[in-house]
Structure 1
């Protein structure tokens, strides 16, 4: 790749001027999803487009993050201090604010391929401009849209012994592929601009994420305006989520591979995996209490019950904070290597991590090295730590410091000398975690900054095309990927699941998009391609709609994300459904088995009416205890809060905020219907804090001394919500 002349700028307006000088006023801007957006530059470019209607600006991205503010007056009071604490100093992404408020100027269009879940559900502009695409196809689609500007936040190499380099750190996922495509476009005569915005608060990662500065056309750097990373707070893990995570942890195979998504279900799996590894007796007690081996034999067949002696390897488009906790606890430690033959020998146990002369003999037997050793052999062996770094090949012999050695492995004296002076101690250069992007709580970013050099080098942030599927133009070595990804468990979530085996994860049957396909389809498909791999879809058995419980396992639905022919494993808080290769009747029954008992009979009746289940079938007694009350009893008897805390990895909310948040969530549920709103309002008007029990909580909400009708009503609503959460049965709106 040709070396570019870099413009180093300390003013965003000059960056915008330079972009327009290069590409003109018709700008198609590609931005990383989530964390990697260069906010200062993007805001300046967007403001210029607002000021100059001759500029035609199209923005293509995903996950445009905004600090939560709340919609109702109570939510705003609750969220205000939290937003100030977590997002102070982070500039707002101005185009995202205007998108949210439906205030985009006519000369600006924003298209995203993945929304923050539910954030654009009622935004007609974003629903119209949404682009449905697999994550792995986003770079291709950007090029088809005519992208001519790419901008990325980067970390400087100056503090990491990497002069002239920058790290794409949180988002090499698409940019690694886009940069060479744009350079090809430029070579063909189309003007482009690639912009980097330096932020020293961004954790440094090397390997694939570190690229030369000269791959950018301009770099904006103004240390005084650098800002903190946007965080996604830790969410509480409910008993139901913990049970789903526990069942998922039974399917992890020691020595295997893990892909995981964000959210409380992923955190629950990580927590149970750590419990299995560090407190195995307690984990086994829960395993036995739930009768996992008896009810769900797949866990015995393809999972495991012991600690992770070999460890796991992480390969996930999103490196969630849970992977870092697995690394810290010694679980994420199975390292993979970028050579298919070497990896296969490791998988087969013919080569271990410790290096010996036997290692050389095996490599020679497999034709990977020759004897006598040649220059290319020495280079290859030193790369993987099999020979020490200081070993050189000169004049047909090995040189180690002042010693010269014969490289003939058939001579006893040569073998002895090589073993004593040239052999390394253990394999090196392995990767325990491949990730495409990361996003998480503040604590996560700090831990990433504090990683030792050794642990940082075990993490490779790279292209999503490497991670998300086996076949692609840039990382085409599918044999290597298959060798690395043994016993893969691809764990993703869904909103609903149909009895025929289709997952509904990204949208509604009326066409509105909740989030996006992302990489889910790729991972599910890959699970069917890789030997020993399983796709696991996790979902809660029920949700609340207009104050009433409804089943997330449904007979059918007018939209799906994953088609039924890719059905595999489904987990709810009530157990595991092994669907792969099963006839339809078994698929239907196994899903009914893990549905909430309030809906099992209606689901069965629909299946029988459709002729999918024998009309003589009756629900077994052992299936009929899938109830919230049973979960509460089970959770208490099986360790409860001792082994399954709500916040096992820390939290971003105060004790008061947890109490208030629960109360506001309850109020929102109770007022989801028109009848519920009226009933709740009448109840709230009678609610009083006569004993002053809620004074501090009301102070936190700014409602301890209300003035005016609105504030007085808000105060009564908060008191009523607090009373409801203390006495959950004291509500006239909940139905069985």
Structure 2
């Protein structure tokens, strides 16, 4: 079914599901904001029927206060997010402490710091490893999903930016005989990515497209690096070895790492001069300063701008191939999120390069469990997993998501999975990137602490 209005689509969902609406919607980019907003606005005044959102990373553009700040920020916001970006209505009410009692928002990963001082959001945060989310959704009785998709020339749909949890949720719900109403919203700006992300049109119960359902894709602003970020990236760039596997987490430190990897590959003499000035660490893992001749294979829960730059630089070139895949892959990912140029790059890839990217279920990315586990282990040779952390204790405990007073800043996500995987693979190493200090507005404080508090 297609070409319904927003209100007709909401009516469709309310008629198909009995009792409370427990809706799953993707982490990050794949949320159909106009549909979710209309659903929320329709159910907000009616306390006779519950509404529960199950999601993660509900992206919210920066908010400013005051006429001067608005006049300064407004033109940038319009260029970056579009003139009428549809903010999520439930996020607005969570931030204003106006969420009705019959509506709950459960997130397993949140926009960094967005809910730091919000008691309701803190209480409804669900601490889960990425690979455990689907089982939790099934247990909690999620009965519908809604997400953005891309349409292919042959009529098929692609889960594009978010096959990460959808594929497993649909399979596990069906296996348990659970009702799951599936709603897709076609977005013209999303690239059609095949492989596991491609599904037939009848995969969904309702397909929406048209001007009323259109929205700007949320694009992350590209921020400048601090000198300390570049030095951290320079240190870390010595760890990947040629003919290896690379996973990169989210944030500026990961981008600084990719910058130094490109420097190592393209301007090797200068790179060697720079790393020659760094202190050595004889206790650390093996290091390399060579350019990448065989290349690296990307395997990361999040695909972002860094992988685009590495591919353009001729680094992301090592390919692997599964028995069921007709095409070799240079990159496997669970979800993608990045800048406008990154989305344009994905959209404009050649057929060969597009086939080299496999967006798939997170259970295939963040774990080694597979029907052909031996092949997966062989593919992930010389693996280097890079993620960021906020603080580290003197005992080596990493605090990556929660402050010592218990307030959640972001979430565990998949960090645990990659630390654990590094212990399962014989030639793999997990590296946590850390800024040694932070500034509280008055003085500089250390991120090396005596006690761990809430340890990730």
Instruction: Normalising by structure 2, report the TM-score.
Output: 0.96
Deviation of the 1:75 alpha carbon? 4.5
Q: How many Å separate the matches in 2 of 1:434 and 1:283?
A: 28
Say whether residues 1:17 and 2:11 are aligned partners.
Answer: yes
Q: How many Å separate the matches in 2 of 1:454 and 1:510?
A: 50
Q: How many Å separate the matches in 1 of 2:95 and 2:229?
A: 30
Deviation of the 1:236 alpha carbon? 0.9
| TM-aligned CA distance change 1:121 to 1:9, over 3 Å | same
Aligned ranges 1:454-469 → 2 under 5 Å: 454-469=352-367
Deviation of the 1:504 alpha carbon? 0.4
Say whether residues 1:29 and 2:23 are aligned partners.
Answer: yes
1:222 corresponds to? 210
Deviation of the 1:134 alpha carbon? 0.4
Deviations 1:148-206 (A, max 9, x none): 01111101113xxx32x101110000001111223334xx3x43311101111112211
Deviation of the 1:298 alpha carbon? 5.7
Deviation of the 1:225 alpha carbon? 4.1
Match of 1:94 among 52, 77, 89: 89
Aligned length: 455
Say whether residues 1:175 and 2:73 are aligned partners.
Answer: no
SS in 2 for 1:491: strand
Q: How many Å separate the matches in 2 of 1:334 and 1:100?
A: 45
SS in 2 for 1:208: helix
Q: How many Å separate the matches in 1 of 2:89 and 2:232?
A: 38
Question: Is the 1:69–1:83 Cα contact (8 Å) retained in structure 2?
Answer: no
Match of 1:431 among 314, 329, 338: 329
Match of 1:450 among 348, 351, 355: 348
Deviations 1:399-442 (A, max 9, x none): xxxxxxxxxxxxxxxxxxxxxxxxxxxxxx21100010111111
1:277 corresponds to? 265
Aligned ranges 1:127-166 → 2 under 5 Å: 127-158=122-153, 162-163=154-155, 165-166=156-157
2:254 corresponds to? 266
2:105 corresponds to? 110
Q: CA RMSD in A?
A: 1.7
Deviation of the 1:509 alpha carbon? 2.0
Q: How many Å separate the matches in 1 of 2:70 and 2:104?
A: 29
Q: How many Å separate the matches in 2 of 1:235 and 1:193?
A: 39
Q: How many Å separate the matches in 1 of 2:68 and 2:389?
A: 30
| TM-aligned CA distance change 1:559 to 1:75, over 3 Å | farther
Deviation of the 1:287 alpha carbon? 1.7
Question: Is the 1:111–1:131 Cα contact (8 Å) retained in structure 2?
Answer: yes
Q: How many Å separate the matches in 2 of 1:125 and 1:72?
A: 26
Deviation of the 1:13 alpha carbon? 1.2
Say whether residues 1:51 and 2:45 are aligned partners.
Answer: yes
SS in 2 for 1:302: coil
Match of 1:242 among 230, 240, 248: 230
Q: How many Å separate the matches in 1 of 2:136 and 2:392?
A: 29
2:293 corresponds to? 309
Q: How many Å separate the matches in 2 of 1:225 and 1:510?
A: 41
Match of 1:119 among 114, 120, 123: 114
Q: How many Å separate the matches in 1 of 2:270 and 2:180?
A: 58
Q: How many Å separate the matches in 2 of 1:191 and 1:500?
A: 47
Structure 2: any 5+ residue segments left out of the alignment? Answer: none
Deviation of the 1:224 alpha carbon? 5.7
SS in 2 for 1:51: coil
Deviations 1:675-699 (A, max 9, x none): xxxxxxxxxxxxxxxxxxxxxxxxx
Q: How many Å separate the matches in 1 of 2:98 and 2:344?
A: 36
SS in 2 for 1:537: strand
Deviation of the 1:529 alpha carbon? 0.9
Question: Is the 1:58–1:109 Cα contact (8 Å) retained in structure 2?
Answer: yes
Q: How many Å separate the matches in 2 of 1:477 and 1:179?
A: 22
Deviation of the 1:480 alpha carbon? 2.0
SS in 1 for 2:44: helix
| TM-aligned CA distance change 1:117 to 1:253, over 3 Å | same
Higher relative contact order (CA 8 A, sep 6+): 2
Structure 1: any 5+ residue segments left out of the alignment? Answer: 1-6, 340-379, 385-428, 562-736
Q: How many Å separate the matches in 2 of 1:76 and 1:26?
A: 39
Say whether residues 1:296 and 2:281 are aligned partners.
Answer: yes
Question: Is the 1:69–1:80 Cα contact (8 Å) retained in structure 2?
Answer: no
Deviation of the 1:115 alpha carbon? 0.8
SS in 1 for 2:165: helix
Q: How many Å separate the matches in 2 of 1:34 and 1:157?
A: 22
Q: How many Å separate the matches in 1 of 2:213 and 2:95?
A: 25
Q: How many Å separate the matches in 1 of 2:226 and 2:442?
A: 19
Match of 1:557 among 434, 438, 452: 452
| TM-aligned CA distance change 1:476 to 1:99, over 3 Å | farther
Instruction: Normalising by structure 1, report the TM-score.
Output: 0.60
Aligned ranges 1:610-649 → 2 under 5 Å: none
Deviation of the 1:531 alpha carbon? 0.9
Aligned ranges 1:556-705 → 2 under 5 Å: 556-561=451-456
Q: How many Å separate the matches in 2 of 1:326 and 1:255?
A: 14
Deviation of the 1:76 alpha carbon? 4.0
Question: Is the 2:6–2:212 Cα contact (8 Å) retained in structure 1?
Answer: no
Deviation of the 1:478 alpha carbon? 2.5
Q: How many Å separate the matches in 1 of 2:94 and 2:402?
A: 20
Aligned ranges 1:412-561 → 2 under 5 Å: 429-471=327-369, 475-561=370-456
SS in 2 for 1:29: strand
Match of 2:187 among 199, 204, 228: 199
Deviation of the 1:8 alpha carbon? 2.0
Question: Is the 2:170–2:180 Cα contact (8 Å) retained in structure 1?
Answer: no
